[in-house]
Amino acid sequence: MKAWVAKMTEEHLDEDAIRRAGEILKDGGLVAFPTETVYGLGGNALDAEASRKIYAAKGRPSDNPLIVHIARMEDLEIVARNIPDNARKLAQECWPGPLTMILEKTEVVPLATTGGLNTVAVRFPRNRIAQALIQSAGDFVAAPSANTSGRPSPTTAAHVIEDLGDRIDCILDGGMVEIGLESTIVDFTEKTPMILRPGYLNRERLEQILGTVKVDPGILAEEPAVRPKAPGMRYKHYAPKADLTIVEGPEEKVVQKIRELAEEQIARGLTVGIICTDETRRKYSAGDVKSIGARSEEASIARHLYGILREFDGDHVDVIYSEAFDTPKMGQAIMNRLLKAAGHKLIEA
């Protein structure tokens, strides 16, 4: 089976393709689609068999729950119950958008979708292609990121084709995503709301709306002694084929350190990749040097991170050195993903 691909933009939806894709989902098939965060691999969230197909296509462990995507605020009540007031308030402020909330599930959501849990992850994405697809599919679409398990989340349709092109029915190609990192996950099943996965909506923003918000200690810990609450954050996630190390510190020192390390490795006969920014690009002479974007525009760093990691897998380098990206707003989310990819190898310059 080879997926058919329908290209469109949010401004010019291909209504016919969306209707056909909606039919595929209603019939239990799989459709990949863009959201503002990353591409999702959709199946009917209320159909246990469709959820099983998602796990199989991704090669994902079936105890790692899926996110249920909705496209109307009132549909939250159908999949979740005992919804606390502060969760409603957050939904009002941040939906549609890059926010996923963990709530108590209702009977209509099969355990196959929630990985056996009595809670459900719900998200109302802002992308208009995603919204139109969800509505045409009958309003509830389960979707993990549309990558094979263990690879970076896809930020373009080409990434989806690379990983899943012959395992799913259809791909809606809406071009490159806007944000490039997965949604912020907030758990509302305990007294104080807790961030289970950092994302574009950071702790400061959430605290403006909710008051005190905790961060799951499991996502900050280097050692797996403290288990993250979101099952997906426990798995050894994506690791590039090359050995990745992050170098942190003042810019000049970081550049100098990476240059030294790169030269040492090249002298040993290894090929080296370097992840830098537009500001430092010209300061590196040796190695396969890729700029992630301007440090002054952190959005571009987030948006290009997964794509660059995929490129290096294709380039077959032996080692990669990356500058650290502790940017003001999305720094926590960017560094969370980068540290995981590096297996927490961080050098202070």
Question: Which parts of this chain interact with Mg ion (CB under 5 A)?
Answer: 145
- 123 binds ligand TXA per the rule CB under 6 A: yes
Start-end of H helices in 216-344: 217-220, 231-234, 251-267, 298-315, 331-341
Contacts of 197 (CB under 8 A, 6+ apart): 100, 182, 183, 184, 185, 219, 230, 232, 233, 336
Q: Chain-centre distance of CA 302, in angstroms? A: 10
Nearer to Mg ion, 119 or 145 (CB): 145
Contacts of 248 (CB under 8 A, 6+ apart): 254, 324, 326, 346, 347, 348, 349
Nearer to ligand TXA, 231 or 331 (CB): 231
C-alpha to C-alpha distance for 133 and 71, rounded to whole angstroms:
9
- 117 binds ligand TXA per the rule CB under 6 A: yes
**Mask 173-212, x = binds ligand TXA (CB under 6 A)?**
---------xx-x----------x----------------
State the binding partner of 202 from Mg ion, ligand TXA, none, CB within 5 to 8 A by kind. none
Q: Strands (DSSP E) along 106-229, which ranges?
A: 119-123, 141-142, 170-173, 184-187, 194-197, 214-215
Contacts of 218 (CB under 8 A, 6+ apart): 226, 227, 228, 229, 233, 234
Cis amide linkage into residue 154, ω under 30° from 0: no
| Structure-block tokens of residue 166 | 């012959």
- 69 annotated to a ligand binding site: yes
Q: Chain-centre distance of CA 233, in angstroms? A: 11
- 349 annotated to a ligand binding site: no
Stretch that binds ligand TXA, among 18-26, 138-146, 275-283, 295-303 (CB under 6 A): 138-146
Nearer to ligand TXA, 114 or 336 (CB): 114
Residues 231-290 that bind ligand TXA (CB under 6 A): 231-233
Q: CB of residue 103 vs ligand TXA: minimum separation in angstroms?
A: 8
Nearer to Mg ion, 53 or 295 (CB): 53
**In the complex, which residue's CB is closest to Mg ion?**
145
- 337 annotated to a ligand binding site: no
C-alpha to C-alpha distance for 74 and 88, rounded to whole angstroms:
11
Q: CB of residue 134 vs ligand TXA: minimum separation in angstroms?
A: 11
Stretch that binds ligand TXA, among 9-17, 113-121, 212-220, 290-298 (CB under 6 A): 113-121
Residues 321-340 that bind ligand TXA (CB under 6 A): none
CB 146 within 8 A of CB 163: yes
Q: Which residues of the shown chain bind ligand TXA in the complex (CB under 6 A)? A: 35, 37-38, 40, 64-67, 100, 102, 114, 117, 119-121, 123, 143-145, 182-183, 185, 196, 229-233
